[in-house]
Amino acid sequence: GRCLASSLRDEPGTQRTMEAFAAKNSIILIAHLKMADKEGKGLMTEDVFLQTVATVGPKFNREALKKVLDEHKIARSPDGVFSYETLMDQITHGSCPETVDNDKRLAEILKLLTSKLDRSQIPAFRVAMASLQLTEPAQGILKKTGGSMSAEDFQKRFPEAWKSSRTVSELLQDAKKNLDKASEEKKAMTPIICPSVLSSDFARLAEECKRMIELGADWLHMDVMDGHFVPNLTIGAPVIKSLRKHTKSCLDCHLMVSNPAQWIDDFKKAGADTFCFHLEAVEEPDKLLDKLDKLGLKAGIALKPDTPVDAVFPYCKRLHHVLIMTVEPGFGGQSFMWWTMPKVAAIRAKFPGLNIQVDGGVKTHTIDACSKAGANVIVSGSGIFGKAKPGDVIKAMKDSVSAYQAS
């Protein structure tokens, strides 16, 4: 049969877009479909399918989808329920020559990432994810291919990049050792939910923060942007100082600034509990960590999506937490970058007792991916503040982290 893209030729304006999308992004689409499949049965309605596809690619209408389903002879119920797994399997492994480039190993990893796992599978999953974490220049190439792939396939397809990439086997070996140690210790990390107050009503900031804590939140995440390191300008130490008068809860300060050392004293005096700076913004992280230790501030280091995970390894034993950005910092409205999850898995494998924070696009349909990879500190803005029942969201996120941390 023909591929999804060529099946949409009758719909004006979508042919080229959908051809490129179906050929190059089917693995990403499968991952999002599995995340949207709450029951994990491989079934969904036409409306949910269309909505999910629209989050990662072009929009197309129900009539176009029906034509695709008919052509691939995919049965559907009277209320529009069909097997999206069967459809995507035909699209990915069908007769479309453009789609044969999809990496089967990655598809298997993504299936683990986006479906329910038995607890006994979690350690093996984290090792597998850790083994896929490569350093520059592999990161840029992997991003273009839609994610990660097996070490063997990467070496064959990109031999020059492989030469200047870290040997995956070393990381995998370290991960296995640490997972064995973690298994012996049987230490489960505490779930910590951090509503990002940047999404709150700033006219009622103290009230909003109090409400979040009463609903079960643990920390209050403060996004500090200077307009230089990232384009946006947000809050600073004066806001932290004012808010400190109204809450005893942890004020978790994430500084997206060009010169974090400049602000340490101000944030300490303002009453900040944590001080998380970006590794990309400093040349000598140890000096900042020394000062944070001296002042009694809990130190964190944040990594942008493209920063190799092993860049933070030398400092992890000194940290209160590591923050893995799952979107580009400083920009709103971005989709969750699932391909950053190997970073989380790599850190959890190597440092089983470290708090791992994720920030960006984390909502109820992406929390399981974070929990499975090993994150226990969850930042969510609109995913909590934008919901009618934020307390239910907070509980669901805690339950997800607890379920996988206990494994």
Q: Which of 77-91, 293-307, 355-369 has the lowest mean pLDDT?
A: 77-91
| Per-residue pLDDT at 63 | 81
Q: Is 103 a catalytic residue?
A: no
Q: Is the model's pLDDT at 405 over the cut of 60? A: yes
Whether 106 shows a pLDDT value over 60: the answer reads no
219-225 and 43-45: which strand pairing? unpaired
Percent of the chain with pLDDT over 90: 43
* Contact (CB, 8 A) for 373 and 339: no
For residue 18, what pLDDT is reported? 53
Query: What percentage of the chain exceeds 70 in pLDDT?
Result: 65
Q: Is residue 174 annotated as a catalytic residue, yes or no? A: no
pLDDT for residue 171:
45
* CA dist., res. 154 & res. 347, Å (int): 22
**pLDDT at position 187 over 70:** no
What is the average per-residue pLDDT within 173-198? 69
Catalytic residue chosen out of the listed positions 218, 223, 252, 368: 223
CA nearest 71: which of 94, 51, 48, 55? 94
Whole-model pTM: value is 0.63
Which pLDDT belongs to residue 165? 39
What number is the average pLDDT over the span 119-148?
A: 49
At residue 169, does pLDDT exceed 50? no
User: Between these two residues, 244 and 158, which has the higher pLDDT value?
Assistant: 244
Encode pLDDT of 245-301 as tens digits.
999 999 999 999 999 999 999 999 999 999 999 999 999 999 999 999 999 999 999
Helix axis angle for 168-185 and 341-350, nearest 10°, is 60
pLDDT band at 101 (very low <50, low <70, confident <90, very high): very low
The encoded tokens of residue 90 equal 């035909």
In this predicted model, what pLDDT tens digit does every residue of 330-341 receive, in sequence order? 876 678 888 788
What value, to the nearest 5°, has the Cα angle with vertex 57 and ends 56 and 59?
120
Q: How far apart are CA 307 and CA 282, in angstroms?
A: 13
Provide the token pair at 383: 């995913």
User: In this model, does residue 95 exceed pLDDT 50?
Assistant: no
The predicted model gives 186-215 an average pLDDT of 91
Tens of pLDDT along 17-29? Answer: 554 555 555 655 6
More confident position, 342 or 184:
342
**pLDDT band, residue 37 (cuts 50/70/90):** confident
Name the band, by pLDDT with cuts 50, 70 and 90, for residue 2: very low
CA distance linking residue 339 with residue 227, whole number of Å: 27
More confident residue, 131 or 205: 205
Q: Are 161 and 137 a contacting pair, CB within 8 Å?
A: yes
Report the chain's mean pLDDT, rounded to a whole number: 77
User: Is 349's pLDDT higher than 60?
Assistant: yes
pLDDT at 126: 60
Mean pLDDT of 139-149: 45
